[in-house]
């Protein structure tokens, strides 16, 4: 084997809404790189995280939920797939047409099944789920995991590594994501909207980071919250600016935890009518069309 060859490759993370994909990505990296929210479909486009377990290198790609009917051509260039299924809805989800379609698209790739949120099932019962999944003959590995507690993460990483080929290192050692810092910051802000605003308003508000710079020892960020209806602008600002202030406070905290830097966030609310119905606007704001 040529010198310099290590286990190095890409692992796709896929699953239905709210199965724990983003939590799993964060557990792999021990970093809040993919914001976690309670509302469905919080991931809107692929988020990458590069892990270096031992001497290996794996680029995990967290994808939009299967409900988004994402273009799964991405499967062609990954080495292994991690399918995340909520253990509590295991039987129903395996029969879900979207899951079945995805598995058909992935039939040429090794698929490792992550039975997520396994803490909701007694430990003595988890083996039964693994056995039932094994009988489907669809998975090269099956691991119960609880990302928030760190349970099963090492075992799942090992199962992924078994399917990563030997090749030259794909990325320099100091790179931990392929996404831009501005995009990841915008995701931290966007996620906070769902904890404050009505779901329909939060879902139709785009976040566009215009500037990131260092000022007075802090990370300065200027960002626009872009609503699709003029009537939503007042809702984001709130009475005497209280709602916008709350969004700013929560977002600043999330960004500081993500970047490890104190930050000053300058938020502005703008209107672009019906941007959610315009493909050009959606692509500009970073949405998968």
CATH of 181-284, one of 3.40.50.720, 3.40.50.300, 3.30.300.20, 3.30.70.3150: 3.30.300.20
Give yes or no for a contact between 86 and 19, defined as CB atoms under 8 angstroms apart.
yes
Please give the class, per CATH, of domain 5-168: alpha beta
pLDDT in tens, 99-124: 999 999 998 899 999 999 999 989 88
Residue 69 has a pLDDT of 65
Within 10 angstroms of residue 137's Cβ, the number of other Cβ atoms is 6
- How far is it, in rounded angstroms, from Cα 167 to Cα 4? 8
Rounded to an integer, the average pLDDT of 135-159 is 94
pLDDT at 118: 92
Q: Report how far residue 116's alpha carbon sits from residue 51's, in angstroms, rounded to the nearest whole number.
A: 20
| Residue 96 pLDDT > 60 | yes
* Residue 269 pLDDT exceeds 90: yes
* Residue 260 vs residue 79, higher pLDDT: 79
44-95 tens-digit pLDDT: 678 899 999 888 999 999 988 888 766 678 899 999 999 999 999 999 999 9
**pLDDT exceeding 70 applies to what percent of the chain?**
94
C-alpha to C-alpha distance for 120 and 117, rounded to whole angstroms: 6
pLDDT of residue 288: 62
> How do the domains of the chain map onto residue ranges?
5-168, 181-284
Query: b or e along 216-232 (b: 16 or more beta carbons within 10 Å of the residue's beta carbon)?
Result: eeebebebbbbbbbeeb
185-207 pLDDT, tens per residue?
Answer: 999 999 899 889 998 899 899 99
pTM: 0.86
């Amino acid at each position: 084997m040529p010198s310099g060859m290590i286990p190095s490759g890409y692992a796709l993370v896929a699953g239905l809404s709210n199965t724990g994909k983003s939590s799993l990505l964060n557990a792999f990296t021990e970093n809040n790189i993919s914001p976690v929210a309670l509302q469905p479909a919080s991931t809107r486009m692929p988020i990458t995280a590069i892990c270096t377990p031992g001497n290996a290198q794996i680029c995990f790609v967290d994808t939009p939920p299967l409900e988004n009917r994402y273009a799964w051509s991405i499967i062609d260039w990954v080495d292994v797939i991690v399918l995340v299924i909520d253990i509590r809805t295991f039987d129903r989800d395996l029969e879900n047409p979207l899951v079945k379609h995805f598995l058909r698209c992935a039939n040429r790739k090794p698929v490792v099944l992550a039975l997520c949120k396994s803490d909701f099932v007694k430990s003595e019962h988890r083996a039964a789920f693994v056995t039932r999944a094994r009988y489907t003959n669809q998975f090269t590995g099956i691991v119960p995991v609880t990302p928030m507690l760190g349970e099963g993460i090492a075992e799942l990483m090992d199962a992924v590594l078994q399917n990563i080929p030997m090749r030259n290192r794909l990325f320099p050692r100091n790179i931990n994501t392929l996404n831009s810092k501005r995009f990841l910051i915008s995701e931290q802000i966007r996620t906070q909207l769902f904890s404050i605003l009505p779901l329909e308003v939060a879902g139709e508000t785009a976040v566009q980071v215009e500037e990131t710079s260092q000022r007075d020892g802090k990370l300065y960020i200027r960002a626009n919250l872009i609503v699709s209806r003029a009537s939503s602008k007042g809702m984001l600002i709130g009475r005497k600016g209280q709602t916008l202030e709350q969004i700013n406070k929560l977002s600043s905290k999330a960004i500081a935890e993500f970047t490890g830097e104190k930050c000053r966030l300058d938020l502005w609310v703008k209107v672009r009518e019906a941007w959610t119905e315009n493909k050009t606007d959606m692509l500009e704001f970073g949405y998968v069309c």
